[in-house]
Amino acid sequence: MGWGEAEAMAMSRQETLANAASLWLERSTLDELIRLLRGEGFTVVGPRLDQGAIVYGEIERASDLPRGWTDDQKPGKYRLENSGGEAYFEYNVGPHSWKQFFFPPRLAVERAKREENGGWTFSRPEPSDERYALLGVRACELAAIAVQDRVMMNGPYVDREYAARRESALIIAVNCTVAAETCFCTSMGSGPRCQADFDLALTETEEGFVLEVGTEAGWEIAARLEHCEASPDQLASADRLRHRAEDQISKEMSNDGIRDLLLNNLNHPHWDKVAARCLSCTNCTMVCPTCFCSTVNDVSELAGDEVERVRQWDSCFNLEFGYTAGGTVRNSIRNRYRQWLTHKLASWHDQFDTSGCVGCGRCITWCPVGIDLTEEVEAIRQQPAKRREVPLPQPRPDACVVPGEAAADQSNRPRSVGQTIDDRQRGASDSAEAQQDASIADGGTDRE
Amino acid sequence: MNDSNKHPDQATEAAGLKSRPQAPRLAVFKFASCDGCQLQILSCEDELLTIADQVQIVHFLEASSHFEEGPYDVALVEGSITTAADRDRIRQVRQQSRFLIAIGACATSGGIQALKNWGDHHEFSRCVYAEPAYIRTLSTSTAISEHVTVDFELRGCPINRLQLVEVIQALLRGQSPRTPRHSVCIDCKRRGTVCVAVAQDKVCLGPVTQSGCGAICPSFDRGCYGCFGPAGQPNCESLTEHWIGCGRSPVSLVPLMRNFNADAPAFREEGDRIDPDYDQGHVL
């Protein structure tokens, strides 16, 4: 098809777009969508079968997708299964999350080279110019991306690699039509329906896809696809399947006063019980779509003339992560599990004005011993030790600001050259830890 | 590294290793072992030339029959102590060496041959050798640190050559070597490997094993064998109790704990805990 012809077809489709709330795509159009995105220079990433699971990787055609596959998930267990149907997206979120594309596991952030005169030349690698089209983003994952946006680029310190990758990305969401035993998005208010923050959103039915358009960029893609207005029957069918997913969600976690509940119970005996089970292996933080901690090391070759500063995913469950002058500040599994859970569900609110949990259930499925955070919270809720309101930590001059204040703050505050997102994250977790330490002062130190 | 092995004075002194007029003298010694860790030194290839530029390799029988007497600035020690003669020899090596680095599972935990620690070595000798009368051996295979002060322990079966380069580099510069104590799991996740325990129901020691290999086995659909020994603060009991809860027998789990790092305290204690009456002999 030539450009003129394509544009003419797009013009005729505009009328449908202008009038319809939702469009209809035939199932075969999915391949057309992938080809179109690739033709536009996007690297299309989406679900595919690999290593006995549905992971995220590059998608070249619709046949790369896990058509006819689904999964069974329980605490500490994941199994691929035949779905018995023809659907491309009838699975639940798996071991990978989209953060790997915006916040890569390993990244060179700085380089230094010794010159012949003995001096050093410093350089900073340019951010990636890869443009990702994310195909198959679920509602909980849209929420997770929104949380990471706040952390990585909507505050005073912008991670330029994240921002470059994120801002150039196109998001094609897919509404869930099934749910896993580990899903609890309804408790976190993040799903299962995709409400916003997508360019396009699909709901897959037995015959094809109902398509919603979320942005101008999404509109431009939709206009070039073979489509028509979705019929009332097609819309009803999509609605029924979305409700099926919602009905299948059985796990719950009450968020009622959860911040004060956890911060009031830092010495609750239940922390010892969960510490006896926790492996401190980092799996929950690695699979979490919002966890953002990293470590930065300078790596040189043996002669020491070339040095690369490398950022890698790290975890609050690592002993080295809490290592400061004088020792490791979270020197027991109990301290580290408590730090993770109270940060994710409690002090995250103070720091980022949102929960750090989106209810995707990955930390439950991928914990090798099946620890379920909803049960840990519930155990504390059943027998809370204290009830009082925990005051917000006092803001520090260099503490990060909540989104909304960020823009104003950014405009009149010069960004310190040496400060990176990692300084900010370290500062943030310090303040959460300081708050805990203040609360446990009467209970003695937890250092071993 | 055990806290007891830290030697701040020596670490400070090491700042001079690179700046001294003569290149530091490095020696490699072998005790009871398979030589695999020494081969890792030779496998450094490109890096080996740079190492040779910065240190004098004066004693390395695996590479050269030319060797010099001590003292040495750095001794890399492979293997475990299984004979009385070796027990004496390691003391001599210690006396002649400013820095003694134990390399590999044998040197750091006694190696696979530490399985004899649960059995009767006389009986093993009778089974294996036609003339057991000629065999003079201790009843145990033990780590170098059981006998002399060790300045740094580099784990692995075999060691990771890049970690070895890191250790040598750190010594030359007077820095602490960076060999993380975290689990293998984080390496699986960084490289995108799907958890074989959760997705394929395979027993995997990754959650309690120290990083170092780059998570090779899970990337080939196999559980971790624990080649780099216990991770920092490993919770072996929770992991094995989970497997037992999933229907595995305690007796099937003991051999997992008693492997290349059988006598590393965390693995040894867990194997003994799961099945105190386990008969090491019955697998032979």
For the residues of B232-258, what is the DSSP string, one character each? Answer: SS--HHHHHHHHHHTT--HHHHHHHHS
Tell me which chain B residues have a C-beta less than 8 angstroms from the C-beta of A78: 195, 198-199
* Chain A neighbors of B204, CB-CB under 8 A: 368
Q: How far is B120 from chain A (nearest CA, A)?
A: 34
User: Chain A closest CA to B112's CA: distance in Å?
Assistant: 25
Chain B positions in Cβ-Cβ contact with residue A313 (cut-off 8 Å): 186, 189-190
Is the CB of A105 less than 8 angstroms away from the CB of B189?
yes
Closest residue to A286, CB basis, from B186, B231, B232: B186
Residue A169 domain-assigned?
Answer: yes
Spatial distance between the Cα atoms of A372 and A255, rounded to a whole number of angstroms: 15
Is A357 within a domain? yes
Is A162 within a domain? yes
Q: Is the pLDDT of residue A10 over 80?
A: no
Give yes or no: residues A145 and A71 share one domain.
Answer: yes
Could you list the residue range(s) of the whole structural domain that residue A336 is in?
Answer: 258-294+316-443
Query: Is there a contact between B206 and A52 if contact means CB atoms under 8 Å apart?
Result: no
In this predicted model, what pLDDT tens digit does every residue of A271-302 receive, in sequence order? 999 999 999 999 999 999 999 999 999 988 87
Q: Where are the domains of chain B?
A: 3-173, 185-277
Best B185, B241, B246, B273 residue to mutate vs chain A (most A CBs within 10 Å): B185
Please tell me the total count of domains within chain A: 2
Same domain, yes or no: A230 and A263: no
pLDDT for A7 equals 57
Q: Could you tell me if residue A267 is inside a domain? A: yes
* Residues A228 and A361 both lie in one domain: no
* Model confidence pLDDT, tens digit, residues B160-208: 999 999 999 899 888 889 999 999 999 999 999 999 999 999 999 999 9
**And the tokens for A400?**
């990060």
| pLDDT confidence of residue A443 | 35
What separation in angstroms does the CA of B150 have from each of A7, A327, B14, B17, B102? 74, 21, 15, 18, 7
Residue A143 domain-assigned (yes or no): yes
Taking the CA of residue A296 and the nearest CA in chain B, the distance in Å comes to: 12
**Burial status of residue A9 (CB atoms within 10 A of its CB: 0-12, 13-18, 19 or more):** middle
Fill in the DSSP letter of residue A246: H
Helix (H, G, I), strand (E, B) or coil at A79: strand
Position A9 confidence tier, pLDDT thresholds 50, 70, 90: low
Q: Determine, for residues B180 and A365 on separate chains, whether the beta-carbon distance falls below 8 Å.
A: no
Give, for A14, the enclosing helix (H) or strand (E).
helix A3-19
CA–CA min distance A81, chain B (Å): 11
The fold of B3-173 is: Rossmann fold (3.40.50)
Q: Which are the contacts of B151, defined by CB distance < 8 A and separation ≥ 6?
A: B5, B7, B10, B99, B100, B101
Contact criterion met (CB < 8 Å) for B242 and A278: no
Q: What is the pLDDT of residue A408?
A: 39
- Chain B: nearest CA to A106, how far in angstroms? 7
Which of A51, A313, A368 is closest, CB to CB, to B189? Answer: A313
Q: What are phi and psi of A327, to 5 degrees?
A: 135, -175
Q: Which residues in chain B touch residue A367, judged by CB atoms under 8 angstroms apart?
A: 198
pLDDT of the residue at A254: 95
Pairing relationship of beta strands A228-229 and A23-26 according to DSSP bridges: antiparallel
How does the average pLDDT of chain A come out, rounded? 87
pLDDT of B277: 87
| Residue A301 within any structural domain of the chain | no
On whether both A243 and A271 belong to a single domain, the answer is no
Quick one: A20 and A93 in the same domain? Answer: yes
Same-domain pairing of A183 and A206 = yes
Burial class (CB in 10 A: 0-12, 13-18, 19+), A285: buried
Residue A444 pLDDT greater than 90, yes or no: no
A249 pLDDT above the threshold of 70 = yes
Q: How far apart are CA B171 and CA A347, in angstroms?
A: 41
Q: How confident is the model at residue A245 (pLDDT cuts 50, 70, 90)?
A: very high
My answer on whether A354 and A416 are in the same domain is yes
**What's the length of chain A?**
448
CB B183 within 8 Å of CB B194: no
Question: What residues of A are in contact with residue B1 (Cβ under 8 Å)?
Answer: none
Of the partner residues B190, B195, B200, the one whose CB lies closest to the CB of residue A366: B195
Look at residues A173, A240, A213 and name the one whose alpha carbon lies nearest to residue A23: A213
* Record: contact B185-A281, CB cut-off 8 A: yes
Q: Which pLDDT score is estimated for A420?
A: 35
Residues 6+ apart with CB under 8 A from B37: B78, B103, B104, B106, B107, B156, B158, B159
Nearest by CB to residue B198, choosing from A78, A297, A304, is: A78
Which residue from A100, A279, A304 is facing B238, i.e. has the nearest CB? A279
Residue A386 in domain: yes
Q: Which residues of chain B have pLDDT under 50?
A: 1-12, 14, 16, 283-284
- pLDDT of A382 over the 50 cut: yes
Question: What is the percent of chain A where pLDDT is above 70?
Answer: 83
- Is A305 a domain residue? no
d(CA B34, CA B78): 9
One domain, residues A237 and A347: no
Contact between B199 and A52 using a beta-carbon 8 Å cutoff? yes
Q: CA of B44: which chain A residue's CA is closest?
A: A302
CA distance B203 to chain A (A): 10
Q: Do A280 and B233 touch (CB under 8 A)?
A: yes
What is d(CA A411, CA A408) in angstroms, rounded to the nearest whole number? Answer: 5
Q: Looking at the structure, tell me whether residues A140 and A181 fall in a common domain.
A: yes
More confidently predicted of A263 and A384? A263
- The more confident residue out of A385 and A82 is A82
Rounded to a whole number, what is the distance in Å from the CA of B78 to chain A's nearest CA?
22
Residues A223, A88: one domain? Answer: yes
Q: What is the pLDDT of residue A442?
A: 34
First vs last Cα of chain A: how many Å apart?
70
pLDDT bracket for residue A413 (50, 70, 90):
very low
Distance CA A47, CA A56 (A): 5
Assess whether pLDDT exceeds 80 at residue A195. yes
The answer to whether the beta carbons of residues B266 and B108 sit under 8 Å apart is: no
* Residues with Cβ within 8 Å of residue B214, at least 6 apart in sequence: B160, B187, B191
